[in-house]
Amino acid sequence: MVLGMAGFDVLYHDTYYVVGHFHLVLSMGGFAVIFAVFFHYWFYFFRVGYNKFLAVLQAVLFFIGELVTFVPALFLGMSGMPRRINDYPVYFSGWHSLSSLGHGLVVLSLFVFLTLVLESKYSSRKFLYANKYSKGVPYFANRHSAYLMLITQLRTKLKVKRSCGNPALTSF
């Protein structure tokens, strides 16, 4: 909304405000979705459950780290720090140090995530919603897949021959 106004756009265009806003919205939003999908399909990837405490710790460290990394860039841009210049005044160094601390938190959250993967692999924790029909991600690509899988198992148990109807519906 800020850069949508012509006066602010001209004022902040070549500053770190644009960098901070871009990275805050795109990197934080993108990685949040990636981690959410990864945790949602965890059982289908690894066939074991994951440690909830480590998952929450990783998410909190990641989000705080992202905020601490990129929110100072907004303030640097509002203070007039330009982009694409190698040498900056000393009074910007505090914000840069805070951004470096935030980056350290993001790296720490990635190590927590790797620990989470290894811990779930070696713990062999049972997944809460696992059942005998859980065969992996491709089986649950659409809402009818579990139904089709049940029909297939019934056909094999009853030894029913396939009809010569629509091959798209009968060849799964």
How many angstroms separate the Cα of 159 from the Cα of each of 35, 148, 165?
42, 16, 18
Q: Where are the domains of the chain?
A: 6-130, 131-172
Query: CA 11, CA 14: separation in Å to the nearest integer?
Result: 8
What backbone torsions phi and psi does residue 23 show, to the nearest 5 degrees? Answer: -70, -35
Query: pLDDT (tens digit, 9 = 90+) per residue, 90-111?
Result: 888 888 889 899 999 999 999 9
Query: pLDDT (tens digit, 9 = 90+) per residue, 139-172?
Result: 445 445 555 566 666 667 766 555 555 555 444 4
How many CB atoms lie under 10 A from the CB of residue 162?
10
Q: Please compute, for residue 112, the number of CA atoms within 13 A of its CA located in the half-sphere on the CB side.
A: 20
Query: pLDDT (tens digit, 9 = 90+) per residue, 16-38?
Result: 778 788 888 888 888 888 888 88
The SS3 call for residue 41 is coil
Token pair for residue 7? 């006066």
